[in-house]
Amino acid sequence: MSTRPCLHFTPQEGFMNDPNGLVQSNGLWHLFYQWNPTGMEAGNQHWGHAISRNLYNWNHLPVALYPNEDGGLMFSGSAVIDKDNTSGFFKDSHGRIPTNTDGRIVLIYTTHYDDRETQNIAYSQDGGITFIKYENNPIIDLNESQFRDPKVFWHEDTKHWVMVVALAQKFRIAIFRSSNLKNWEKVSEFGPAGILGSQYECPDLFRLPIENTEDHRWVLVVSVNPGSPINGGSITQYFIGEFDGITFTPIDKTARIFDHGNDFYASQTFSNVLNNQVISMGWASNWSYANKVPAEKYRGMLTCPRELSLRSMPLNPEAQELVLVQRPCNTEALKHPLSEPYPLELQNVAEFPPTFMCGSRFYLCATIPLSAAESEKLEFLRLRWSATSDVLNSKQYVELGYRFSDGAVYIDRGSCETSWKDPMYSERSVSNLPPIVIDDKLMVDLGILMDHSIVEVYGNHGGKVFTNTYRFSEEVEGSPLKYYYLELPQAAKMVKANVLPLF
């Protein structure tokens, strides 16, 4: 039985990395991705393509972009809907404009050669199934070898297209604008700032609402690889600020970390989303070991789709701090059966014996008062799982926990693989999760989205998120069922703990 995740996107075969061209069109979610269909390591980059109605069940479509005949590879980029036909691409052979404006998808991507990277566009005349590369590509050529990952969006206030794109090894994000997606003018630059690492990649810029207010701020996301302060590998940071269509002005120089786990990189938000939700997906891996993790048919996966917002948190009695909030999107969709049914319906944590068995995917939310842990003298809240039933004595397991003494969340997958070891993979990831106040009580809040090979932890109602992949070796990976050991304060069960059944 396979370790293929069910709630997380994976390619049918070959190697995948970044999500590309995320866009909603005619009620469907389109997902493109960096894909090597012919090998199990990065290289030979194509744009793979899939569509979904609910962001969790995906149908694979034919390759959207093949490498150029001259060897140019299809590197990361984005997609927009050119509703008003600003590009002039959307005329039929009689010169008429097809009426379905929401199907006018334009892809903006990097063509990579060893000594040069340029920005290019392609468009679809069949509503997003096949793509035609623009005859006058490239649209931007700065004669640079490290210039990639264009993310384009429509800036309503200035009525222009805006592109953020990385001058990777200059640690700058260049901002361009255009009225027709073909001719671009550079208007400003951001950086160097924050975590530099060896290079900047995959920028994204979008406006987010601040929870419980009418206010908004702009967020600039910049991926960095290698150079993560967490583990030295790949990391995604963000800056909060203002954007006037020309310049991004950060509120401070603080680099904030998007996801505190080991497996989150090159995230991107969807464009053209109905009701202006901001939804993001990231690549759930790390360049430090992405090409090495054990794999048979395919390698790589994406995180689940997350809805983003900002939250104002008290920093001290005088000051507030804004933080990015992420929540798994459309969890209602998770309630419906996906593929094969599983025998056990999870109802409530209170009914779980400490060791329980269930399908490998669920979404569990628990809010635990710190006082309960104290009165029960509990050191940890922890969930440990393995593929064999004696979880606590299993040689291979993953443990996810919260240490009450110092408020640290940890994920330990160090025993996961015996045949393959990478120190960065094996090291415990640890990060603090400050308690929150609910009804005058100090609480720790955790949402755990569990799937085959990947677990996402949403701390403090999405205020701090951790994504880690995991993998048990083949001998123990015979069944899709996993066994779980859960240790919670007794009192927590009465406060608020529930499981969203998936099957």
Instruction: Write out the residues near ligand FRU by the rule CB under 6 A.
Output: 17-18, 34, 42, 45, 75-76, 110, 148-149, 201-202, 265-266
Task: For residues 65 and 10, give the distance between their C-alpha atoms in angstroms, rounded to a whole number.
Answer: 18
What are the tokens at 322? 């804004």
Least distance CB 407 / ligand FRU (angstroms): 32
User: Is the peptide bond prior to 226 cis by the omega test (within 30 degrees of 0)?
Assistant: yes
Using a 10 angstrom Cβ sphere, with 0-12 exposed, 13-18 middle and 19 or more buried, the burial of residue 469 is buried
Q: Where are the beta strands (DSSP E) in 71-215?
A: 73-81, 105-113, 116-123, 132-133, 147-155, 160-167, 172-178, 185-190, 200-209
Tokens 């395919």 map to which residue? 298
Q: 398 is written with which tokens? A: 């993953």
Residue closer to ligand FRU (CB basis): 202 or 257: 202
Q: What angle do CA 38, 42, 44 make, to 5 degrees?
A: 50
- Pairing outcome for strands 436-438 and 147-155: unpaired
Q: Please, which residue, 89 or 258, has the CB nearer to ligand FRU?
A: 258
Beta bridge partners of 15: 36, 299
* Residue burial 268-297, b: 16+ Cβ < 10 Å; e: rest: bbbbbeeeebbbbbbbbbbbbbbbebebee
Residue 461, CA distances (Å) to 54, 434, 448 in order: 22, 12, 11
Of the pair 41, 475, the CB lying nearest ligand FRU is at: 41
Q: DSSP 3-state assignment of 365? A: strand
Closest CA to 457 of 176, 264, 195, 214: 264
CA distance 101 to 90: 9
What is the phi/psi pair of residue 374, to 5°? -65, -50
244 is catalytic: no
Sheet holding 172-178, edge to edge: 147-155, 160-167, 172-178, 185-190
Closest distance to ligand FRU from the beta carbon of 364 (Å): 31
Shortest spacing between CB 92 and ligand FRU, in angstroms: 33
3-state SS class at 213: coil
Q: How far apart are CA 425 and CA 292, in angstroms?
A: 11
Pairwise CA distance, residues 248 & 267, whole Å: 19
Please give the single-letter amino acid code of residue 475.
E
Nearer to ligand FRU, 286 or 396 (CB): 286
Closer by beta carbon to ligand FRU, 236 or else 396: 236
Which residues lie closer than 8 Å to 283 by C-beta, 6 or more apart?
Answer: 16, 17, 18, 19, 34, 264, 265, 266, 267, 300, 301, 302, 303
- Least separation in angstroms between residue 135's CB and ligand FRU is 23
- Joined tokens for residue 167: 């001058």
How many Cα atoms are found within 13 Å in the side-chain-facing hemisphere of 131?
Answer: 27
Which of these is catalytic: 18, 149, 263, 451? 18
Q: Rounded to the nearest whole angstrom, what is the least distance from the CB of residue 250 to ligand FRU in the complex?
A: 22
| Minimal distance, residue 76 CB to ligand FRU, in Å | 3
Taking the complex as a whole, the smallest distance from the CB of residue 292 to ligand FRU amounts, in Å, to 15
Nearer to ligand FRU, 42 or 476 (CB): 42
Amino acid in the structure at residue 137: N
Q: How far is the CB of 17 from ligand FRU (least distance, A)?
A: 5
Q: How far is the CB of 18 from ligand FRU (least distance, A)?
A: 5
- Least gap, CB of 48 to ligand FRU (angstroms): 12
Report helix, strand or coil for 349: helix
Complex with ligand FRU: residue 20 or 124, whichever CB lies closer: 20
Q: Six-digit token pair at 463?
A: 């205020």
End-to-end CA distance of the chain: 18
User: Which residues participate in catalysis according to the annotation?
Assistant: 18
